[in-house]
A and B are shown apart, each in its own frame.
Chain A
Amino acid sequence: MTLAFQARGLVKRFGATTALDGVDLSAEEGTVLGVLGPNGAGKTTAVRILATLLRPDSGTATVGGLDVARHPGEVRRLIGLTGQFASVDADLTGTQNLVLIGRLLDMRGAEAKARARELLADFDLSEAAGRAAGTYSGGMRRRLDLAASLMGRPKIVFLDEPTTGLDPAKREELWGVVRRLVDDGATVLLTTQYLEEADALADEISVIDSGEVIAHGTPADLKRIVGGRHITVRPADPARLDDAGRVLSTVTGRSPDSPHRGVLSVPAETDRDFPAVVAELDRAGVPVTELALQLPDLDDVFFKLTGHTAADDKEAVAA
């Protein structure tokens, strides 16, 4: 296997702020690297360096085997970039936006139009193709933006928080697009604030905090660190809390703790724990108003890795 991109020891400062403090990132061809971290962690800065939009103060980055600082023009021919904010022209229609990108990628007119039509259909935008992008909803603009970055069939695609602000259904749709890209042989770098998203898409995950990679591994590795899933229960009658607790400890062999008043939580070790809890609660006649199998979220990961939450981190950045 060869690496599609590799960043080594990236350092970038903006005035007194150190955005990146020695970041290493890499992905093998045809895989998805998830870069997970809170706002202000340095994800966007790292992507902008790999996409030739910023020069690092030190460290090196190669994309497709080419040094981004020495061969930015060649690197730009290999990549597609979708930024955090949709970068489409509000005055141009969906088709005009894509055709313009095609022309800038040296496609002939007919070729650009055909590719635009294909992508608009793929992204469920055919009906809106003739309308100015300024009239699109947030999700439609995001899809058009992604379509624009795929016009040239890039081998390496950088997606900077592509689902931030999208509703869950649209998010799932976008995940489908990313999976198709990888099936077609592309390599994807995806930044996200959601562990769930990284888990769903990434082959490997790098966790970034305050400009440093604090963990790297497969989603399974990370979940091992964080401690996996939790079952949470809220009995309908608060007086039955002890009965519910007995069920949880019988099934999982662990004693539950209470993260909130009236709620119990216990780690789920195996995939059979949750259905067993459902069955046992029913057998014991304990009605519940909440019952969930919860995946660890970014806050859990951060808490385990750094001892503080992602939210604390944001406050620290703001301060």
Chain B
Amino acid sequence: MTTMELSAPRPLGLARHSLALAGRSLIKTARNPEHLLDVTLQPVMFTVMFTYLLGGAVAGSTEDYLRTLVPGIMVMVTLFASMQSGVNFNDDIKNGVFDRFRSMPIGRSAPLVGAVLGDAIRYVVAIVVLLAFAAAIGYRVDTGPLQILAASLLAIALAFAVSWMFVLLGAVMRDPGGVQGIAFIVLFPLTFGSDLLAPTETLPGWLQAWVDVNPAAQAMQAARGLLMGGPVAGPATATLLWSAGILAVFAPLAVSAYRRRS
């Protein structure tokens, strides 16, 4: 039996295939705008709730509270938005179209990278809604547009990395509800185990220790530094290192879980 001729594969296949699949997920989002409802409503809800519930008690006035709250909420809403990557992926791999992807000459990680990249639109929507709404109720950035961009990118970088944890869940769990359940157990200590809502001086030692290493708390510190003025280099570096570390551990785990599931 002779071997059939094959055309040579073009280079950078994984990047191109992932982008093509990210395009697919953008088309799906555009076709189902209700999928963006959570990232549209959550920033508004969290900002209203925390500002008016806690602002007076913690900071004396809502304007002062917004200055420290908004950079933290920026990190929080992008992390919450990243959960959906895992939920959608779980739903998507049961779709027949993934059988076709599996039978095609593309990298095994391309459908996962595509799903994660396509969700970038969700982070952008969450941040834009947050900043617009906060501005409407009196929030002003102390620095400038470049710093806003830098803070946003930092928040998105961490969300990208964390979304791989959820994609892993999506590849392993049986249904979207299960993914969501576990995802919240990851998200709450990340987002609330920080000085997001109140100063941390009075925390017990063990919780203080978590706040000191928590990647989300680091990202919030960096965002605050960027938007209010203050130290940036230390917490920004910590955030990026954490993001790289989470990505390095969870992306390969997610890919191999996806490969095993067929």
Q: Which residues of A contact B (CB under 8 A)?
A: 2-3, 6, 51-54, 62, 64-66, 73-74, 76-79, 81, 83, 85-89, 91-92, 96, 100-101, 103-106, 132, 148-149, 155
Contact = CB atoms under 8 A, between A and B. Distances in A.
Contacts of A92: 24, 27-28
Interface stretch (B55-63, B98-106, B234-242, B246-254): B98-106
Contacts of A87: 95-100
B27 A54 contact: no
Interface in B91-124: 95-106, 110
A74 B27 CA distance: 30
B20 A77 contact: no
B28 A91 contact: yes
Interface string B1-21: 111101101100100110011
Contact of B3 (A53, A66, A85): A66
A36 B237 CA distance: 62
Contacts of A78: 4, 6
19 contacts: A3-B1, A52-B102, A53-B99, A53-B262, A62-B1, A64-B3, A77-B7, A77-B105, A81-B100, A81-B103, A92-B27, A96-B24, A96-B27, A100-B24, A104-B20, A104-B101, A105-B105, A106-B16, A132-B31
B32 to A, nearest CB: 7
Given A65-B4, A77-B6, A89-B24, 11 more contacts: A2-B2, A53-B262, A62-B1, A64-B4, A66-B4, A77-B105, A85-B96, A91-B32, A100-B20, A101-B104, A155-B4
A54 B100 CA distance: 13
Given A78-B4, A104-B17, A91 B27 contact: yes
Of listed B6, B20, B21, B104, residue having the most chain A CB within 10 A? B104
A91 B31 contact: yes
Interface range on chain B (Cβ under 8 Å from partner)? 20 to 34
A158 to B, nearest CB: 9
A78 B97 CA distance: 19
Of listed A103, A104, A132, A155, residue having the most chain B CB within 10 A? A104
Nearest to B10: A106
B176 interface: no
Contacts of B105: 73-74, 76-77, 105
Contacts of A6: 1
A21 B147 CA distance: 65
A51 B102 CA distance: 9
A187 to B, nearest CB: 10
Of listed B6, B7, B110, residue having the most chain A CB within 10 A? B6
B14 to A, nearest CB: 11
Contacts of A54: 262
A53 B98 CA distance: 11
A104 B106 contact: yes
A137 B27 CA distance: 21
B50 to A, nearest CB: 35
A89 B28 contact: yes
A105 B100 CA distance: 12
Contact of B2 (A65, A74, A103): A65
Contacts of A74: 6, 105
